[in-house]
């Protein structure tokens, strides 16, 4: 039985027991109504519980409450008692309320279906409560798992309800119990109410109505009810289809934002220096581990401010990756410019060295980076579609990083030098630009942006020594697709690659989707080698 229903039943049973203690007159419940509860026939017990739910007087509610919390006892003679406290030698008779000896009475045996019926019966009784909040809670509990046997109680509550919002809830609740009613008019009304609700969880109620039996006849004999059910099914299918499309689009944009953070720095270094840096993925790893260290520092030294550790992790991840990038460029890459094959092999070796160094420092196992409170959970924008806060934050963060990179490259002196070297290195050197320093700064800037990507990735997945290898190939594809050295192309290439991948995955699986996307990119490059955005100027 649902845990919330169980707690709700226990709370009600306490009040019912108190009411029974003060009652000594005759009740509507008879010994015939409850005799089956003392036996072993579970179907008969279910019928008895339905009878109690249909006449929820004080005695019926007290007995249902005792059944819910395990205080109902049955004697060999078939009498039902309500135990007051564990270990008491006396209990109250379920009908008269008189104290009698417990004797050889044993707890009433119930299964999960009966417990669920009891909880629903108690919730149904609360639909008559004068407190609207109690009625709302009872309606929500019954809507979570409708029970057709509760239809009489729900009908009575629906007829008396005066609150418009709660009345609409009760209409839907009634419809879920009346959809198989003998009266075709009631079935039609129930179907129309279910269809108007637009709730995908209620779709299984409508589908059997338009299905056929083995003999070829429809389950639902009335054509008006079938037509209404089909209209409701079509509307629900449209909602589900739109939700699925929106979910795929968001998943693609989310993946694209991750690829953008990984590819943005690569676009800068590849476009400026012309280096195919196979160690670029390890800059993401360094940024992720820098975030892990900042998280641990906040947890140890400033636990009260833990939710704000990402604000410190962002500059830390940028600086850590940029420093490693400077070291790699100054010590290794500057000696290999103009030799692409040797650069490719050297950076691949550097990636292995960085991964092994990480294993030595932090261990081979993944480390845990915890989301802050404000990045936990999600927002429901459509049925079956919840957008996680951490994904939304990463999308906003990636766009902010793109804006900062654009501002640096187009609005600063360093950006001017970078663009000059990108378009014509020789001419830039002739007018006094120190191209070697520009290479170092650009490489450090690109590595730092990759570090920011690692900081973002730490919020949505595992952080381990192999983190960067997951995204390096896709990053290169995004850069080549968008156009080498073009920020706008990298943005469109990353988001396009992410959306295309997520659109293909439902049909072919993740591995085949990646292969299919790679083939499509190869075919595209064959037709347009310069990518989506081509360089302009003499160097093009």
Q: pLDDT for 100-153, tens place per residue?
A: 787 778 888 888 888 887 887 778 777 877 888 888 888 888 877 777 777 777
Q: Extract the tokens encoding 411.
A: 């609005």
Residues near 238 by beta carbon (within 8 Å), at least 6 away in sequence: none
Domain membership flag for residue 241: no
When mean pLDDT is compared across 6-10, 353-357, 380-384, 493-497, the lowest value belongs to 6-10
Q: Are residues 288 and 424 in the same domain?
A: yes
At 17, the pLDDT band (50, 70, 90 cuts) reads very low
When mean pLDDT is compared across 33-47, 399-413, 437-451, 487-501, the lowest value belongs to 33-47
Q: Are residues 285 and 214 in the same domain?
A: no
At 325, the pLDDT band (50, 70, 90 cuts) reads very high
Query: Once rounded to an integer, what is the mean pLDDT over residues 24-51?
Result: 73
Q: Are residues 21 and 94 in the same domain?
A: yes
At 28, the pLDDT band (50, 70, 90 cuts) reads low
Q: What is the DSSP letter of 200?
A: G
Q: Are residues 114 and 171 in the same domain?
A: no
At 19, the pLDDT band (50, 70, 90 cuts) reads very low
Query: Once rounded to an integer, what is the mean pLDDT over residues 519-534?
Result: 77
Give the span between the Cα atoms of 370 and 176, in whole angstroms.
42
Q: Are residues 349 and 417 in the same domain?
A: yes
Domain stop point among 478, 493, 508? 493
Higher local confidence (pLDDT), 535 or 332? 332
Domain stop point among 477, 493, 509? 493
Query: Once rounded to an integer, what is the mean pLDDT over residues 367-381?
Result: 88
The secondary structure of the chain in percent helix, strand, coil, rounded to multiples of 5, reads 70, 5, 25
Q: Are residues 330 and 453 in the same domain?
A: yes
Q: Give the strand order in the sheet containing 106-107.
A: 99-101, 90-93, 80-83, 72-74, 106-107
When mean pLDDT is compared across 115-124, 158-167, 215-224, 379-388, the lowest value belongs to 115-124
Q: Are residues 45 and 183 in the same domain?
A: no
Query: Once rounded to an integer, what is the mean pLDDT over residues 44-54?
Result: 79
Query: Once rounded to an integer, what is the mean pLDDT over residues 186-194?
Result: 87
Give the span between the Cα atoms of 507 and 496, in whole angstroms.
18
Give the span between the Cα atoms of 65 and 486, in whole angstroms.
70
pLDDT of residue 484: 66
At 520, the pLDDT band (50, 70, 90 cuts) reads confident
At 55, the pLDDT band (50, 70, 90 cuts) reads low
Given a cut of 60, whether residue 21 has pLDDT beyond it is no
Domain membership flag for residue 529: no
Domain membership flag for residue 451: yes
Give the span between the Cα atoms of 335 and 322, in whole angstroms.
19
Given a cut of 50, whether residue 26 has pLDDT beyond it is no
Q: What is the CA radius of gyration of the chain?
A: 34
Instruction: From residue 277, give the alpha-carbon distance in Å to each of 350, 391, 401.
Output: 9, 27, 21
Q: What is the DSSP letter of 108?
A: P
- Give the chain's domain count: 3
Given a cut of 60, whether residue 535 has pLDDT beyond it is no
Domain membership flag for residue 416: yes
The CA-based dihedral angle spanning residues 331, 334, 336, 340, taken in that order and rounded to the nearest 10 degrees: 120
pLDDT of residue 295: 94
Q: Are residues 106 and 179 in the same domain?
A: no
CATH code of the domain covering residue 452:
1.10.3470
- Give residue 51's domain range: 3-123
Mean pLDDT across the chain, nearest whole number?
Answer: 82
Q: Are residues 174 and 255 in the same domain?
A: no
Domain membership flag for residue 524: no
When mean pLDDT is compared across 47-61, 181-195, 210-224, 320-334, the lowest value belongs to 47-61
Domain membership flag for residue 447: yes
Domain stop point among 493, 510, 531? 493
Q: What is the pLDDT of residues 217-233, one digit of tens each?
A: 888 888 999 999 999 99
Given a cut of 80, whether residue 448 has pLDDT beyond it is yes
Domain membership flag for residue 530: no
Domain membership flag for residue 67: yes
Given a cut of 90, whether residue 442 has pLDDT beyond it is no
When mean pLDDT is compared across 103-107, 310-314, 444-448, the lowest value belongs to 103-107
Q: Are residues 184 and 297 in the same domain?
A: no
Higher local confidence (pLDDT), 529 or 109? 109
Q: Are residues 90 and 154 in the same domain?
A: no
Q: Are residues 183 and 253 in the same domain?
A: no
pLDDT of residue 271: 66
Higher local confidence (pLDDT), 210 or 145? 210
pLDDT of residue 324: 94
């Amino acid at each position: 039985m649902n845990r919330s229903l169980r707690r709700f039943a226990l709370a009600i049973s306490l009040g019912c027991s108190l009411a029974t203690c003060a009652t000594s007159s005759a009740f509507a419940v008879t010994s015939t109504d409850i005799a089956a509860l003392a036996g072993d026939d579970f179907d008969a017990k279910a019928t008895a519980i339905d009878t109690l739910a249909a006449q929820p007087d004080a005695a019926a509610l007290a007995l249902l409450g005792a059944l819910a919390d395990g205080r109902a006892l049955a004697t060999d003679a078939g009498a039902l008692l309500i135990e007051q406290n564990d270990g008491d030698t006396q209990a109250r008779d379920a009908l008269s309320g008189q104290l009698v000896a417990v004797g050889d009475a044993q707890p009433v045996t119930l299964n999960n279906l009966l417990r669920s019926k009891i909880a629903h019966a108690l919730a149904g009784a609360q639909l008559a409560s004068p407190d609207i909040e109690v009625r709302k809670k009872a309606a929500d509990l019954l809507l979570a798992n409708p029970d057709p046997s509760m239809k009489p109680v729900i009908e009575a509550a629906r007829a008396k309800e005066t609150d418009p919002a709660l009345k609409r809830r009760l209409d839907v609740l009634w419809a879920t119990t009346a959809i198989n009613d003998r009266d075709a008019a009631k079935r039609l009304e129930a179907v129309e109410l279910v269809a108007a609700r637009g709730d995908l969880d209620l779709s299984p109620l409508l589908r059997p109505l338009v299905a056929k039996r083995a003999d070829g006849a429809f389950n639902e004999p009335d054509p008006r009810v079938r037509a209404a059910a089909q209209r409701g099914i079509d509307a629900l299918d449209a909602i589900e289809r739109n939700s699925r499309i929106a979910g795929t689009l968001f998943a693609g944009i989310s993946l694209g934002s991750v690829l953008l953070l990984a590819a943005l720095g690569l676009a800068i270094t590849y476009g400026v220096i012309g280096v195919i840096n196979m160690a670029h993925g390890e800059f993401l790893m360094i940024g992720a581990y820098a975030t892990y260290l900042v998280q641990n520092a906040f947890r140890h030294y400033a636990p009260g401010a833990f939710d704000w550790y990402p604000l410190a992790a962002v500059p830390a991840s940028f600086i850590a990756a940029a420093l490693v990038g400077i070291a790699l460029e100054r010590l290794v890459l500057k000696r290999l410019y103009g030799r692409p094959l040797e650069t490719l092999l050297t950076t691949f070796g550097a990636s292995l060295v960085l991964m092994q160094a990480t294993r030595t420092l932090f261990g081979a196992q993944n480390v845990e980076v915890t989301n802050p409170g404000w990045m936990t959970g999600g927002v429901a924008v459509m049925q079956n579609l919840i957008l996680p806060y951490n994904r939304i934050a990463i999308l906003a963060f990636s766009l902010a990083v793109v804006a900062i990179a654009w501002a640096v490259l187009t609005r600063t002196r360093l950006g001017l030098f970078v663009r000059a070297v990108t378009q014509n290195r020789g001419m830039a050197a002739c007018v006094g630009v120190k191209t070697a320093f520009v290479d170092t700064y650009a490489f450090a800037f690109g590595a730092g942006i990759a570090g920011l990507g690692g900081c973002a990735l730490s919020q949505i997945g595992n952080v381990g020594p192999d983190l960067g290898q997951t995204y390096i190939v896709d990053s290169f594809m995004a850069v080549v697709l968008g156009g080498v050295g073009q920020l706008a192309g990298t943005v469109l290439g990353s988001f396009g690659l992410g959306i295309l991948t997520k659109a293909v995955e439902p049909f072919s699986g993740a591995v085949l989707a990646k292969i299919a996307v790679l083939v499509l990119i190869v075919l595209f490059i064959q037709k347009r080698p310069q990518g989506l955005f081509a360089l302009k100027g003499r160097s093009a």
